[in-house]
Amino acid sequence: MRVAFGWLSTVMLLGLAAPAFAQTWQVDPAHSALTFTNSYQNVEYSGQFRRFDAKIDYDPNDPARAKFDVTIDITSLDTQNSERDHSALGADFFDTAKFPKAHFVTTSFRKAADGKVIADGVLTLRGVSKPVVLTVAFKPNGNSATLDVTAQLKRLDFGVGAGEWADPSMIGNAVTVRGHLQLRAEP
């Protein structure tokens, strides 16, 4: 009876509980970073957003049920150049007076032919929502894990530096965004 009950609860946990909730992870902000690379006057530079909030539900055995929901504080931009940071927050670029935050949420996860996990999602930046594709690399390590994501996007899709600043030889249109998250399993 005891054995049977134990068996039954395992089945319930696996069959009912697990599919309902993928593992939820907490982000360790001290060891996580949201960075990007872009070019300015054809010279590559990198920057980061120092403050962001990420809700990560991910089970490597069942990525289809995963969900990432990330809110980025655009005003925390840091490109190691104070004039550039100040300018980038202005109305011609991120316009943080109107749009202080960006939001990314996944809509679905799939496996590419090469076995990589791909997340489709929607990024809302500067009031514009566009699909963005993430490449996902998840490495579990006991109760913790690292999550590395990469996305390619185009700043002009979101109206960042449109008009007289659109020239890509001045500011590159292509932006590579990388997230490196140190995760701890939520109890």
Residues engaged in binding another protein (CB under 8 A):
40-43, 45, 79-84, 87, 90, 92, 164-165, 167, 170
- Judged by beta carbon, residue 26 or residue 173, the one nearer another protein is 173
Distance CA 91, CA 127 (A): 12
- Judged by beta carbon, residue 122 or residue 166, the one nearer another protein is 166
Find, among 157, 104, 169, 165, the residue nearest to 134 by Cα. 104
- Judged by beta carbon, residue 9 or residue 80, the one nearer another protein is 80
Closest distance between another protein and the C-beta of residue 152, in Å?
Answer: 22
Distance CA 167, CA 22 (A): 44
- Judged by beta carbon, residue 86 or residue 116, the one nearer another protein is 86
Closest distance between another protein and the C-beta of residue 84, in Å?
Answer: 8
Q: Residue written as tokens 């109890």? A: 187
Closest distance between another protein and the C-beta of residue 164, in Å?
Answer: 6
Closest distance between another protein and the C-beta of residue 41, in Å?
Answer: 4
Closest distance between another protein and the C-beta of residue 81, in Å?
Answer: 4
Find, among 124, 183, 180, 110, the residue nearest to 153 by Cα. 124
Helices (H) and strands (E) in the chain, counts: 3, 11
Beta strands 77-78 and 67-73, pairing class: unpaired
- Judged by beta carbon, residue 63 or residue 161, the one nearer another protein is 161
- Judged by beta carbon, residue 120 or residue 167, the one nearer another protein is 167
Distance CA 85, CA 69 (A): 25
Distance CA 132, CA 103 (A): 11
What are the two backbone dihedrals, phi and then psi, of residue 172, each rounded to the nearest 5 degrees?
-60, 145
Closest distance between another protein and the C-beta of residue 119, in Å?
Answer: 32
